[in-house]
Structure 1
Amino acid sequence: MRKRQQSQNEETSAVSQAPGNQRPNTCCFCWCCCCSCSWYVMQSICYHIRHSLTVRNEDRRDHAGRPLHTTKMESVQVIEECQNPTTEEILSWSQNFDKLMKTAAGRNLFREFLRTEYSEENLLFWLACEDLKNEQNKKVVEEKAMIIYEDYISILSPKEVSLDSRVREAINRNLLDPNPHMYEDAQLQIYTLMHRDSFPRFLNSQIYKSLVESTGSSTPET
Structure 2
Amino acid sequence: MQTSHLGIEAAEMRKRQQSQNEGTSAMSQAPGNQRPNNTCCFCWCCCCSCSCQNTTTDEIMSWSQNFDKMMKTPAGRNLFREFLRTEYSEENLLFWLACEELKMEQNKKVIEEKAKLIYEDYISILSPKEVSLDSRVREVINRNLLDPNPHMYEDAQLQIYTLMHRDSFPRFLNSPIYKSLVESIGSTSES
TM-score with structure 2 setting the length:
0.73
Contact 1:74 1:124 in 2 (8 A): no
Structure 2 counterpart of 1:185, one-letter code:
D
| Alignment correspondent of 1:144 | 114
Find the residue that maps to 1:178 and give its secondary structure.
coil
Aligned partners of 2:20 and 2:151: how far apart in 1? 20
Aligned partners of 1:121 and 1:88: how far apart in 2? 29
In structure 2, do the counterparts of structure 1 residues 83 and 213 end up closer, same or farther at CA, with 3 Å as the change threshold?
closer
Per-residue deviation at 1:74?
Answer: 3.0
Find the residue that maps to 2:186 and give its secondary structure.
coil
Per-residue deviation at 1:77?
Answer: 4.0
| Alignment correspondent of 1:74 | 17
Aligned partners of 2:101 and 2:79: how far apart in 1? 19
1 or 2, which has the higher helix percentage?
A: 2
| Alignment correspondent of 2:72 | 102
Per-residue deviation at 1:76?
Answer: 5.2
Write the deviation string for residues 164-220 of structure 1: whole angstroms up to 9, x where unpaired.
Answer: 000000000000000000000000000000000000000000000000001117xxx
Aligned partners of 1:95 and 1:112: how far apart in 2? 19
Aligned partners of 1:118 and 1:185: how far apart in 2? 23
Alignment map for 1:172-183 (pairs within 5 Å): 172-183=142-153
**Given the alignment of the two structures, is residue 206 of structure 1 paired with residue 176 of structure 2, yes or no?**
yes
| Alignment correspondent of 1:88 | 58
| Alignment correspondent of 2:87 | 117
In structure 2, do the counterparts of structure 1 residues 203 and 107 end up closer, same or farther at CA, with 3 Å as the change threshold?
same
| Residue number among 93, 114, 130 corresponding to 2:100 in the alignment | 130
Aligned partners of 1:83 and 1:121: how far apart in 2? 22
Per-residue deviation at 1:82?
Answer: 1.9
Aligned partners of 2:114 and 2:162: how far apart in 1? 23
Write the deviation string for residues 111-161 of structure 1: whole angstroms up to 9, x where unpaired.
Answer: 000000000000000000000000000000000000000000000000100
Structure 1 counterpart of 2:142, one-letter code:
N
| Alignment correspondent of 1:171 | 141
| Alignment correspondent of 1:59 | none
Q: Quick one: higher RCO (CA 8 Å, sep 6+), 1 or 2?
A: 2
Aligned partners of 2:67 and 2:141: how far apart in 1? 26
Of the structure 1 ranges 77-86 and 150-159, higher mean CA displacement relative to structure 2 is found in: 77-86
Aligned partners of 2:183 and 2:50: how far apart in 1? 23
Aligned partners of 1:169 and 1:120: how far apart in 2? 24
